[in-house]
Structure 1
Amino acid sequence: MALILSLETSASSCAVALHHEKALVSTLEVNEPQAHASKLASLIHDVFKESGFHIRQLNAVAVSAGPGSYTGLRIGTSTAKGICYAYNIPLIAVNTLDVLAVSFLEQHDGKKGLLCPMIDAKRMEVYCQVMDSGLNIVQAVEAKVVDETSFSELLKDHEMFFFGDGAAKCSAVITHSNAVFVDHIRPEASMLGRMASEKFEKKEFEDLVAFTPFYLKDFVAKKAGSVF
């Protein structure tokens, strides 16, 4: 069975996990802003040291595909590709919003309604998608500026659960009685690895040359000294 290293760099935290035969062996995380570049390599080193496995034993590397932090996704993807090239192993990518949705269902078993994982995209914008409790897509992934009319048609007939680091700021403007905001749901390397193990069995691998993260929006660099 597979030994899979998972890299979660889509959000503010930086995390890695190691799964063997679908079971979590070890996971480590750093919750520091903009720590991906400085901490990811050391986390990978430490997770192998803690686990007793060697990196040469890897069968695949999994990466959070986005949407999310532009810089974080680039760092995670380039690191994952480097390992895959070095050891001639496949790359697996999992949509970050899917990771959030599966995490929600695991923590809130039996909840019926629509799921809306949200990733903060600054100001009142979020990256989001809407799914039913069977993870069937109701509204595709989009970058959405949230206001008091957002999701109003869906909320008329459905209870909706909003979660992820973009959800909290939306609670002040989405006030419908069917809107439920859930805290403490975030993308985790451990869940990413579990989902990647299923993809490994199905041989759902990415093209190492062609794969790019799901940025959703182009990166816009700020000028030095700019206020906006």
Structure 2
Amino acid sequence: MSVILQIETATTSCSIALAIDGNVLAFKQVNERNIHAEVITLFIDELINTAALTYNDLDAIAVSCGPGSYTGLRIGVSTAKGLCFALNKPLIAIETLEAMAYSIIGEKIISVDKDVLLCPMIDARRMEVYCALFNTDGLKVRATAADIIDEHSFNELLSNHMILFFGDGADKCEAVLGANNNAQFLPGFVNSATFLTQKAAEKFDKKEFEDVAYFEPYYLKDFIAGKKAL
């Protein structure tokens, strides 16, 4: 039996899940900006206690490793690494966009045709998003990138494929891309640690673990500090 603690903090959602043998036992999350540091350890404690487990009962820690919010990723990965060091448990890293795609493929939060391409999007700055493209078998068909979206984005692909855009980055792109009939949007998508479950279980079985000492989040871009209003 494998018990995996799963941490998702790459977006505005701070989400924690406990999974046993690839099935979610419990989860807790809040979708609110700049609250991750305040609630993450409380959520973890609450889930461990609710499940009548101890920290030593955990077999691994899985974390959504980016791309995404610089601060959110730093908090989530630091927490995961701290637990791994303290408990001597392995660390599993899962790319955030891949986990988002598996919410459609595995969790089936919405039914899609086999030929549809999936485009998870994470909000960056202004009209920039972190995104990638996956087919419904989970294969990445376009590499992860930081893209500035305009009315010409994805034109070639949209001429031949229906693309489902989802995530907090997709919300701001609908006005620009939505005129194309092949561009479909999933409103209200909230990232969740439960989306890590399938890939975390697969990686645990294959012992695909990270070097805890040297692992860093997949920031994709350098951190740019915002200016405070005077």
Question: TM class by shorter-chain length?
Answer: over 0.9
Aligned length: 226
Relative to the length of structure 2, the TM-score reads: 0.94
1:168-224 Cα deviation digits (max 9, x unpaired): 111111121111111233321112133211110011111112211111110012344
Asked if structure 2 preserves the Cα contact closer than 8 Å seen for 1:104 and 1:185, the reply is no
Relative to the length of structure 1, the TM-score reads: 0.95
Asked if structure 2 preserves the Cα contact closer than 8 Å seen for 1:65 and 1:213, the reply is yes
Asked if structure 1 preserves the Cα contact closer than 8 Å seen for 2:36 and 2:75, the reply is yes
Correspondence list, 1:126-165, <5 A? 126-165=129-168
Question: Which range moved further: 69-78 or 194-203?
Answer: 194-203
| 2:182 equivalent among 169, 178, 181 | 178
**Alignment match, 1:34:** 34
1:1-22 Cα deviation digits (max 9, x unpaired): 1111011101112111111222
Q: Distance in 2 between matches of 1:3 and 1:36?
A: 23
Are residues 1:193 and 2:197 paired? yes
- State the secondary structure of the residue aligned to 1:98: helix
Residue 205 of structure 2 aligns with an amino acid whose one-letter code is E
Are residues 1:52 and 2:56 paired? no
Residue 173 of structure 2 aligns with an amino acid whose one-letter code is C
Question: Which range moved further: 107-116 or 177-186?
Answer: 107-116
Structure 2 stretches of 5 or more lacking a match? none
Structure 1 stretches of 5 or more lacking a match? none
Identity within the alignment, %: 47
Q: 1:170 to 1:223 in 2, by over 3 A?
A: closer
**Alignment match, 2:206:** 202
Q: Distance in 2 between matches of 1:178 and 1:224?
A: 40
Aligned CA-pair RMSD = 1.3
Q: Distance in 2 between matches of 1:218 and 1:55?
A: 34
Q: Distance in 1 between matches of 2:149 and 2:226?
A: 23
Q: Distance in 1 between matches of 2:202 and 2:141?
A: 23
Q: Distance in 1 between matches of 2:43 and 2:142?
A: 36
Asked if structure 2 preserves the Cα contact closer than 8 Å seen for 1:100 and 1:186, the reply is no
Q: Distance in 1 between matches of 2:187 and 2:229?
A: 35
1:30-70 Cα deviation digits (max 9, x unpaired): 22221111110111110111111111111100000111111
Residue 179 of structure 1 aligns with an amino acid whose one-letter code is A
Q: Distance in 1 between matches of 2:17 and 2:133?
A: 27
Asked if structure 2 preserves the Cα contact closer than 8 Å seen for 1:19 and 1:194, the reply is no
| 2:170 equivalent among 163, 167, 170 | 167
Shift of 1:110: 4.6
